[in-house]
Structure 1
Amino acid sequence: TVPNKAVVTLQPNWSEVYVGERITLRCEIKDGGDTEWEYEWRTSSSEKPSDQNEHSISSVTESHSGDYRCKGRKKHTQHSSTDWSDPIKLTVSDRPQPVLTVSSSWLSAGASVTLNCRVKDPSAGWRFYWYKRVPRLSGNFYYSYEQLPGSSSGTEQDSYIVHGQTHTAEYQCRAGRGDPEYQSYTSYSMYVWTSDIHSSASLTESPDRAQHFTSDSVSLSCEGNSTEWTVIRSSPEERYLFDCSTWGTMNGSTCNINTDWPSDAVYWCESGSGESTNAVNITVQDGDMILLSPARPVTEGHSVSLSCISRSQTFDSIVFFYHNEKVIQNDSRWELNISAVSKSDEGFYKCQHSGRESAQSWMSVQGE
């Protein structure tokens, strides 16, 4: 053997590569000088590299995963070869799907929200692209996604701040790297809702409360400048959005919810001209107890009453009311009255009686 050392390098030098990316494996002979070399490769993968010093794969697959070694032999000689190089391990993974998170799911109108797009190896040359869903102006409630301002060529940062969001919105992100650019899958959607009421477009619920029993009659009405509306629902159990025609009955601009089975979802209106409204979180329960609390925001300084209702009985012992998991009233009253609401009253509420408990609902407080 000769004292020169063979080394395998990977270009681009990323710790993990993904199905479909272009890579080049290179066999370098240290201090090889002007000597002409022939090359030999050995690999545990199904790939069989040629006898060149460079081996390019235009679109890697998982079958290319494995260890790669090389050695060099001086041309025109029989025995003047290097030792085998140390192995380089190539790991080829499925095309990545970023995870999009938002700093807050509920915003006051005009507040800012930070989007974060996370890939498995964030330092490996990724650029990030940010999208917002917009209704196409066809009136048929098809959707398209437009890039957020300043992100058409991607951002180096994996976060993006949306300033002054005023309406309910849906966001997605994706990542790309390399030249030509290799693209990740698009993330699942994240939603940022506002419960604030706009004069131009609003959703109202009848009856105005956050919790209902199964079989209750519940309707959602869309109001605004548009003549064409639908109600959209988002729930943890449903990966995609569905409109009222799937889980209710649309009659003009009013949607009647099917309450035959339990659900916990956020609802808002969208128009064919691209408007969206405030959102409400509605829980339908098949249990024995619900908390009557307003679905829409309560204005500071106004009074509000929260009630505990049982499907089967009247209350004959202590009723507990909780605010953010802390007991704030425990006596025989089935009603919690707040005479002048302040911002500190905002939060999650629930009630409990005889060991049975309602679901918790968020009460939003807005300025006058």
Structure 2
Amino acid sequence: MWLLTVLLLWVPAGAQTDPVKAVITLQPPWVSVFQEENITLWCEGPHLPGNSSTRWFLNGTAFQTLTPRYRIAAASISDTGEYRCQTGLSVPSDPVRLEIHRDWLLLQVQSRVFTEGEPLTLRCHGWKNKLVYNVVFYQNDKAFKFSPQNSEFTILKTSLSHNGIYHCSGMGRHRYTSPGVSITVKELFLAPVLKASLSLPLLEGHLVNLSCETKLLLQRPGLQLYFSFYTGSKTLMSRNTSSGYQILTAKREDSGLYWCEATTEDGSIVKRSPELELQVLGLQTPTPVWFHVLFY
């Protein structure tokens, strides 16, 4: 009820657009830190004119910091929890869970939830910035990266195969192992399916519409998918915002295997459809009928 009241008070009368959701960013950017380390949370969102007041919440309870910047000096276990913020013209942000650890080694990430195609940086961080070497990164207890000196590793484009529990191990005075971190990668859109407007096989001469059908699973502002169509080694249409392609007059030589691709504008996600076999049959020539005429 308190949150709802705040929203009603802060959204200006007569506003027609939906309020913007505030966003929390961290500096340094890691959602897990050691005890006694410093971390700053920033709340980004629109404000009322002349009023930069910001509401902060920890585990659903408001606390008395009213600036867009909230600094935690010498973090303690009690600082662990879910943080939200709200500016004068925003709705509350999504929660950011900050975890404070007392350990020797920590696997740090910038988020625990990613959308496929986004980069994922893993940092194997030693207590009090102690040097860590011979670092091994693990996914679901299986080693996938060894680094003798560099304690950071970046997966440039995440995919669904990157879901799992990650941890790291490294040498200091001894070999240490970090606690596990659960990483979730969400699918942005389904792999496309190529469909034809007519049942197959079909007779030549018909117009055929091919459609590259997919479904957005997550809403992202400004997202635009691009579609390409192929047959054999031939590109029929490349990177078009239209998900359809027309064969105006089908011929027997149009028979073959067809497929399509759907991709994001930056090319970070490319998904290919299964192949569709298009069969075009030639028009049948009428069989001549012979009539026997009897003359008397």
TM-score (norm: length of structure 1): 0.39
**Greater fraction helix:** 2
TM-score (norm: length of structure 2): 0.47
